Chain A
Amino acid sequence: MKLIIFILTSLFLLLYSIPNKARAATLNNQNYNIDIQNIDTAPQKDKLVPIETKPAAQYAPRTEVKEFSLPLLFSVSENQVDFGVLATGNASKRSVMLSSEAGSEYQIKAFEDHPLRGTANQILADTTCDNGSCSEIRNALWINELTFGFGYSCKPISNCIDLTDDESYKQFADLSSKEKPQKIILGKKQKTEIILKANIPSSQKPASLSNTVTFMAIPSF
């Protein structure tokens, strides 16, 4: 046993002690002749070679676009609402159905370009309701047949903002008076009947009065 170990160890040492042939090109051969004057073997300081680096943040501009593709659907049942010939004490009510659906909550804002107005500048002012208090932001009851003006209500009233009673009305925001379009409905999927009401005072002669009301469906951001 001792003999085997001795032989193996010797063989091992023999194998690893044989120097490897240093492979190197010679100074001279049939292709070239290297002529060295001096070989400087003194240690040298590393020369700092400037490396051109771009600062980490200086990369190509990038743009990221995220799309929320759920569509907004909006329908209005009429292009025009005809009140007929307006007569005192006989308020005219007409309906427009609004239907809307969106992936996120939306609002419907509304405004009028101006109060109902005739070609000879006759004006039917926006209603202030029975107690004189309703506006584009405040509702009030409008039941009295002698109360004149132009305004809106809706069904069901739970769909509309700030309407508290079936017979309560508000004005549309009047763009000609620089009033801002007002939120009238908030929701995700709704059908709402908007009731437009117009009544002229006894002092006003029947005439053709007109205006434009715009309903805007705007998704939340």
Chain B
Amino acid sequence: MKKLLFLICIFSLFSLIFNLSEAKAEGVSLKLSPSLLQINAQAPSDINHAFVIENTGNNSIKLKLDLKQFSPDEANNGHLEFLDQNPNFGTITVKIFDKDLEVKEITLGPKQKKTLNLKILIPEKPQIEEQTQADYYFSILFTTIPKPISQGNKQESFTTINAAVSSNILLSVQYKDAFDLFVEKVTTGNIEELSVPSNIDSGPVTFTILARNTSPHFISPTGVILIKNMFGQAVGKVDVDSANILSNSSRYLKNAVWDEKFLFGFYSADLSLKLSDNGPIITKNVKFSVFPIKLIIEFAVVLIVLIVIYSRVKKKL
């Protein structure tokens, strides 16, 4: 019994020694909301909106706050590219406040949540006198500021890891014109692409929609696709998910899928896209066919084999 206890102690001691690993710097875990703000404002305006940043990790962290303007990236998928230059909002002031103090850095304790205020001050007059409309797209970026970590061995190499989260703001501002009136926003655009895959042999059918916004302000179009068969009967309807399209840019509208599985023949799909609450509605049509070619070939082969067998049996008889 004593021997057994002694062995257990030795074993535990060895386990402890060999399991002692070098203390690693723990990572970072962040949560930020909201992830997107859409603001339509008429000058002058004083906008205040709350953001909540949370440290969901177990260590204190320090975060740097930056404002970065962006443009849509070339993939037209709703992803952005930060602009290199310093933010330029014309006469508009954009600041972040922690209660009444403007902040550019904050510290969050473990599991601490902080509510910050985004303040946007839009004066009555624009930067350019005749300007009646201006859009600004920017992100608030929260980036960790690393704590200096002491190195044991002076010849060791290391990479410090920073984490950042961001929230996007789409700001569209209207200014009064020379007659002291707000000019109504005129929305224009077109459907650059409406297509389906070639050689469809069965459903579901995925529509590719690329919409272009040629207005000077961002839009959030909504749409519907009505599908008719070769007899002109309405056989399907697909709601097109709304997505923001920035001024003078294009975007693929995703998730336009006709879920019907069993399809056969010629079809026609009409897309109607409403660019804004006040229109316009733009349309485009695409025709497609669905023929289960593999199934037809297999069926034909089976039929031929059956005919051959039948004729041979008949000859013998």
Interface residues of chain A, those whose CB is within 8 Å of chain B, are: 55, 57-59, 61-86, 92, 94, 96-97, 102-105, 107, 112, 116, 124, 180-181, 183, 186, 196, 198, 206-221
CB <8 Å contact, A208 and B151: yes
CB <8 Å contact, A219 and B156: no
Chain B residues 65-101 with CB under 8 Å of chain A are: 72-73, 77-82, 84
Q: Looking at the complex, which of B3-11, B32-40, B187-195, B232-240 is the stretch in contact with chain A?
A: B32-40
CB <8 Å contact, B39 and A64: yes
CB <8 Å contact, B157 and A71: no
CB <8 Å contact, B40 and A63: yes
Residues in B neighbouring A217, C-beta threshold 8 A: 163-166
Q: How far is the CA of A212 from the CA of B143 in the complex (A)?
A: 13
Residues in B neighbouring A59, C-beta threshold 8 A: 182
Q: Looking at the complex, which of B21-29, B206-214, B223-231, B287-295 is the stretch in contact with chain A?
A: B21-29
A-contact bits for B170-204, CB 8 A (1 contact / 0 none): 10000000011111100000000000000000000
Chain B's closest residue to A58 (CB) is B181
CB <8 Å contact, B42 and A62: yes
CB <8 Å contact, B34 and A67: yes
- Rounded to whole Å, the gap between the CB of B78 and the closest CB of chain A is 4
- Rounded to whole Å, the gap between the CB of A111 and the closest CB of chain B is 10
In the A-B complex, the 6 residue pairs with the closest CB atoms: A71-B33, A61-B42, A220-B78, A68-B36, A75-B29, A79-B25
CB <8 Å contact, B158 and A82: yes
CB <8 Å contact, B31 and A71: yes
Which of A68, A112, A208, A219 has a CB less than 8 Å from the CB of B166? A219
Q: How far is the CA of A12 from the CA of B56 in the complex (A)?
A: 91
CB <8 Å contact, A218 and B139: yes
CB <8 Å contact, B41 and A210: no
Which of A65, A82, A116 has a CB less than 8 Å from the CB of B39? A65
Q: Looking at the complex, which of B43-51, B267-275, B301-309 is the stretch in contact with chain A?
A: B43-51
Q: How far is the CA of A40 from the CA of B69 in the complex (A)?
A: 74
CB <8 Å contact, B45 and A78: no
- Looking at B34, B80, B144, the one whose CB has the most chain A CB atoms below 10 A away is B34
Q: How far is the CA of A198 from the CA of B180 in the complex (A)?
A: 64
Residues in B neighbouring A209, C-beta threshold 8 A: 157
CB <8 Å contact, A219 and B157: no
Q: How far is the CA of A179 from the CA of B227 in the complex (A)?
A: 47
Q: How far is the CA of A64 from the CA of B146 in the complex (A)?
A: 38
B137 within 8 Å of A (CB atoms): yes
CB <8 Å contact, A65 and B37: yes
Residues in A neighbouring B39, C-beta threshold 8 A: 63-66
Residues in B neighbouring A76, C-beta threshold 8 A: 27-29, 161, 163
CB <8 Å contact, A74 and B47: no
B159 within 8 Å of A (CB atoms): yes
CB <8 Å contact, B149 and A74: no
